[in-house]
Structure 1
Amino acid sequence: MGQIQYITVGMTKMDSLWLSNPTLAYQDWQAREAAGADRRPFSARSIVQHQAMFENFRRHLMAKGTTIASFGTADIDAFWQTPDSRTYSQTTRTRYVKLLDRLCRHLVSTGVRLDNPAAFFLSAERWPDQEPAPLFLTEAEDARLQAYIQSIPDDLAGLRSRSIVAAFLGIGITAGEARAARMADLWPDAAPPYLIVRAHGLRDARTVHLGRFAVSILRAWCARRATLPIDGDLLFTLTPDGRPITDMSFGRIVATALAEIGFAGAEPSPRTLRNTFCRRQLLAGHSRDEVSQMLGLASNRTCDRIAATLESDDRALAQTPRARANE
Structure 2
Amino acid sequence: MPLWTIGVLVTGRYAMSRAEVAHPTPNSDFWPAQSLDAWRSEPEKSFLAWLAQQRVVGVRQFRDSSRETYAAMFSWWLSVLAAKGLGLLEAAPHDATEFFSASEFEPVSRRRYLQLLDKVYRHLLCVGWTGKNPMTVELLKERELEIALPPGLDDASLTLVIGVLTNIPGWKGARDRCAAALLLGAGLRANELIHLRVGDVTEHYEIPIKPHSIHREHTTLILPDGPWRGWYQAWLAQRRELSIPGEVLCPGTPKGAPYSPSGLFRRVSAWLNPLNEGLPQTGPNLLRNTFARQALTCKRYTPLQVQEFLGHEELRATARHMEALKSTVETGDENLDI
The answer (yes or no) to whether the contact 1:149–1:217 under 8 Å persists in 2 is: no
Quick check: 1:276 aligned with 2:272? no
The answer (yes or no) to whether the contact 1:168–1:270 under 8 Å persists in 2 is: yes
State the distance in 1 between where 2:293 and 2:45 align: 37
Q: Which residue of 1 aligns with 2:62?
A: 50
Of 258, 264, 287 in structure 2, the residue corresponding to residue 250 of structure 1 is 264
Alpha-carbon offset, residue 30 of structure 1:
7.9
Quick check: 1:288 aligned with 2:303? yes
State the distance in 2 between where 1:166 and 1:270 align: 12
Alpha-carbon offset, residue 136 of structure 1:
0.9
Alpha-carbon offset, residue 293 of structure 1:
2.3
State the distance in 2 between where 1:314 and 1:208 align: 26
State the distance in 1 between where 2:257 and 2:69 align: 30
Quick check: 1:26 aligned with 2:22? yes
State the distance in 2 between where 1:205 and 1:138 align: 25
Alpha-carbon offset, residue 101 of structure 1:
10
SS in 1 for 2:51: coil
Give the 3 Å change call, closer, same or farther, for CA 205–139 of structure 1 in structure 2. closer
| CA displacement, residues 228-278 of structure 1 (integer Å, 9 cap, x when unaligned) | 454421201124664432221221111110113456323212111111111
Gaps of 5+ in 1: 1-14, 19-23, 55-94, 107-121, 321-327
* Equivalent runs, 1:167-206 vs 2, <5 Å: 167-186=182-201, 194-200=205-211, 202-206=216-220
SS in 1 for 2:236: helix
Q: Which residue of 2 aligns with 1:217?
A: 231
Of 125, 134, 146 in structure 2, the residue corresponding to residue 130 of structure 1 is 146
Q: Which residue of 1 aligns with 2:91?
A: none
The answer (yes or no) to whether the contact 2:157–2:275 under 8 Å persists in 1 is: yes
RMSD of aligned residue pairs (Cα, Å): 4.2
State the distance in 2 between where 1:181 and 1:311 align: 33
TM-score, reference length from structure 1 = 0.57
Give the 3 Å change call, closer, same or farther, for CA 157–240 of structure 1 in structure 2. closer
Q: Which residue of 2 aligns with 1:91?
A: none
State the distance in 1 between where 2:257 and 2:21 align: 27
TM-score, reference length from structure 2 = 0.56
Q: Which residue of 1 aligns with 2:162?
A: 146
Residue identity in the other structure for 1:266:
P
The answer (yes or no) to whether the contact 1:171–1:210 under 8 Å persists in 2 is: no
State the distance in 1 between where 2:158 and 2:242 align: 31
Give the 3 Å change call, closer, same or farther, for CA 308–227 of structure 1 in structure 2. same
The answer (yes or no) to whether the contact 2:58–2:216 under 8 Å persists in 1 is: no
State the distance in 1 between where 2:325 and 2:45 align: 39
Q: Which moved more, 1:160-169 or 1:259-268?
A: 259-268
SS in 1 for 2:207: strand
SS in 2 for 1:41: helix
The structure with more radius of gyration:
2
Residue identity in the other structure for 2:62:
H
The answer (yes or no) to whether the contact 2:248–2:258 under 8 Å persists in 1 is: yes
| CA displacement, residues 68-122 of structure 1 (integer Å, 9 cap, x when unaligned) | xxxxxxxxxxxxxxxxxxxxxxxxxxx79x849949x99xxxxxxxxxxxxxxx9
| CA displacement, residues 161-192 of structure 1 (integer Å, 9 cap, x when unaligned) | 332123211111112221222211236xx6xx
Give the 3 Å change call, closer, same or farther, for CA 144–101 of structure 1 in structure 2. farther
The answer (yes or no) to whether the contact 1:185–1:197 under 8 Å persists in 2 is: yes
* Equivalent runs, 1:31-110 vs 2, <5 Å: 41=51, 43-44=54-55, 48-51=60-63, 54=65, 99=69, 102=72
Give the 3 Å change call, closer, same or farther, for CA 244–29 of structure 1 in structure 2. farther
* Equivalent runs, 1:311-326 vs 2, <5 Å: 311-317=326-332
State the distance in 2 between where 1:100 and 1:253 align: 37
